[in-house]
Amino acid sequence: MTNIILSKSEENYLKSIYNLSDSGNKIVTTNSISKILNIEPASVTDMIKKLSKKKLIYHEKYKGTKISKNGIIVALQIIRRHRLWEVFLYEKLNFNWDEIHEVAEELEHVSSDQLIDNLDKYLKYPKIDPHGDPIPNKLGEVDFVDKISISDLKIKEKGIVSRIVNEDEGFFNLLNKLKIEIGTEVTILDKIDYDGSLDVLINNKSVIISKEIAENIKITKI
């Protein structure tokens, strides 16, 4: 396992490619990477060539990019670092839910194995980060993740909020307002045909949430 050293940019690209790939299964387009990283497609093409040369991804001109076996391993370590730092910021430094991502985005690039292993131990080997995302272990093993959203539930079905997919500010504010967090119980009261909105019982109160929001909140069915 020759420890490849990547630049901060390379790491950000590889992580994004992994995140867009649905655990390495889907082919990722140049434009999707461009949008997520806010970098022009031409620059993305340059980096794709670079990561291809390092065998972290496969690329066929004009067709798309697939992350390699090795690329997945490397990406999972970056994600591991990111999520462990999120736990640290949230639990030890009392950051809010919506403040941790940005700082973790920087901390994840400090690549010392000793640092991450000791941090992991110090945090008592957490399995999920504050958004409910699973933390890969040292070997890159990741727990199964709920893929059912609130929007997948039928009327009268119940679930426990297990994961928040969307990470932007407005979304977090809404969740705070609705007092939705990991572990909150939700029950579908009604579905509104017109626009797909849902009437949901949260903390004993009926609230209407849009379909889009419901799709971004993953749950465990109960």
Partner DNA sequence: AATTATTTTTAGATAAACCTAAATTAAGGC
Partner DNA sequence: GCCTTAATTTAGGTTTATCTAAAAATAATT
Binding positions for its own copies, rule: CB under 8 A: 89, 92-95, 99, 102-103, 106-107, 110, 112, 114-115, 118-119, 122
In angstroms, rounded to a whole number, what is the distance separating the alpha carbons of residues 82 and 167? 14
By beta-carbon proximity to DNA, the closer residue of 14 and 87 is 14
In the complex with its own copies, which residue's Cβ is closer, 110 or 145?
110
**# chain residues binding DNA, by CB under 7 A:** 28
In the complex with Mn ion, the residue whose CB is nearer, 132 or 159, is 132
129 lies in the site for Mn ion, by CB under 5 A? yes
Per-residue contact string for residues 42-81; x = within reach of DNA by CB under 7 A: xxxxxxxxx--------x-xxxx-----------------
Alpha-carbon distance 178 to 52, whole Å?
44
Give min distance, CB of 33 to Mn ion, in A.
14
The answer to whether 82 touches 21, Cβ cutoff 8 Å, is no
Q: Considering CB distances under 5 to 8 angstroms, the limit depending on partner class, which of Mn ion, its own copies, DNA, none binds residue 107?
A: its own copies
DSSP code per residue over 66-135:
EE-HHHHHHHHHHHHHHHHHHHIIIIIS---TTTHHHHHHHHTT---HHHHHHHHHHTT--SB-TTSPBP
Determine the straight-line distance between the first and last CA of the chain, rounded to whole angstroms. Answer: 42
- C-beta closer to its own copies: residue 112 or 203: 112
Chosen from its own copies, Mn ion, DNA, none, partner binding at 129 (C-beta under 5 to 8 Å by type): Mn ion
Q: Does 14 bind DNA (CB under 7 A)?
A: no
Report the C-alpha gap between 21 and 69 in whole angstroms: 12
- Extract the tokens encoding 43: 């620059």
